[in-house]
Copies of this chain bind each other. A is one copy, B any other.
Amino acid sequence: MKQVRIKDIAQKANVSIGTVDRVLHNRGEVAAKTREKVLNIAKEMNYQPNIVAQALTTKKIYKISVLIPKGGNDNIYWLSHPKGIEKAVKELQPFSVKINYYFFELHNEADFLKRTDDILNNLPDGVILAPILKKEAIQFCKKLDEHKIPYIFIDTFIDQTNCISFIGEDAFQGGRVAASLIDFGLAPEKDILIVNLAKDLENTQHLNRRNQGFLSYFLDSGKNIGMKITIEIPVTDQKVVNEKMDSIFQKNTNIGAILVSSAKTHVIARYLEKRKIKPILVGYEVTKKNVEYLKKGIIHFLIGQKPMEQSEKAVKRLFEYLTTRSISMKHEFQPVEIINNEIITTL
């Protein structure tokens, strides 16, 4: 139970604490035999460095690079991640971690690669990234592996890498939650329209999983017996959306609820407002524009994936890894949250 110090190891190994330190940090210049001995004793005594003492002497600043898409008015989701990161940094005080942000244009491979190069030139202690561009991300991870720089994924997971952890939404479950809400409020014989709305259907992975979850709910539970109509709208331009939606509503007069599987829910909300039709509307992400329509009562529920919490956790995990070289959990789905107009006031 009592703390084991390098001094204790040194005594047992009959060497000086300097030597112990050298082997513990792989700083070379140690005879293989000595190294062996010290390592064994350290393991045997279950040595854990005292990170308070470490922090005091080194005044080390942990450099973490964050590689995520550029947020913006049309992409608020990625705007909240930095907030969560700052929160984590604050909570990690009095240890100092320095974040360097690298924002890339969504779906711009060249830009993504440019940023990864910047990171590799900077050589941080660890990286947090959203590996949205699969091929490029794998390539980047390989290089990080070479440099022995640990990395954590947020938002999207890809295997074939040595990421130490993944933190993201359980999109499938998020689809089921949306389904259960619609099922609760909708007359059973009404039809449900599922709108997959996103520029170039970006982030298709998440949208697909949400769709699957949504439909799976009605396969094994729920009281709705209406049709489930799925449409894809690969542009978010309001005019185009309106036309597309008009044609749908012309053909289907029994639609009682709409699920929008992306953060673009507000575009559909605007359409409904204009046309003065009032089906149940459920969508994703607590963005400014979405909340606006939540308050107007046009969007009934938003499913949030707590982006701030996600990136906050990512930073804490990475820090934990950097200081102790061990990690508690590899994968972690962040539970989604149900947001309506009454709950939004307390957030």
Which residues in A have some Cβ–Cβ distance to B below 8 Å? 50-53, 55-56, 91, 94-95, 170, 173, 176-177, 179-181, 184-185, 217, 300, 316, 333, 335-343, 345-347
Closest 7 CB pairs of A and B: A335-B346, A338-B338, A180-B342, A177-B342, A176-B342, A184-B185, A52-B55
Q: How far is the CA of A346 from the CA of B336 in the complex (A)?
A: 8
Q: Are B52 and A346 in contact (CB under 8 A)?
A: no
Q: How far is the CA of A95 from the CA of B95 in the complex (A)?
A: 12
> Main SS of the interface on chain A?
helix
Q: How far is the CA of A339 from the CA of B12 in the complex (A)?
A: 56
| A300: chain B residues within 8 A (beta carbon) | 184
Contact of A94 among B51, B335, B339 (CB under 8 A): B51
| A177: chain B residues within 8 A (beta carbon) | 340, 342-343
With a 10 A CB-CB cut-off, give which of A170, A337, A347 has the most chain B CB atoms: A337
Q: Are B185 and A346 in contact (CB under 8 A)?
A: no
**Protomer copies:** 2
Given A52-B94, A335-B347, A336-B346, 6 further pairs, Cβ under 8 A: A173-B343, A176-B342, A184-B300, A217-B342, A336-B343, A338-B340
16 contacts between A and B (CB under 8 A): A50-B56, A50-B94, A51-B94, A52-B56, A52-B95, A91-B316, A173-B343, A180-B340, A184-B185, A217-B342, A333-B346, A335-B343, A336-B343, A337-B343, A338-B338, A338-B340
- Return A157 CB to nearest CB of chain B, in Å: 16
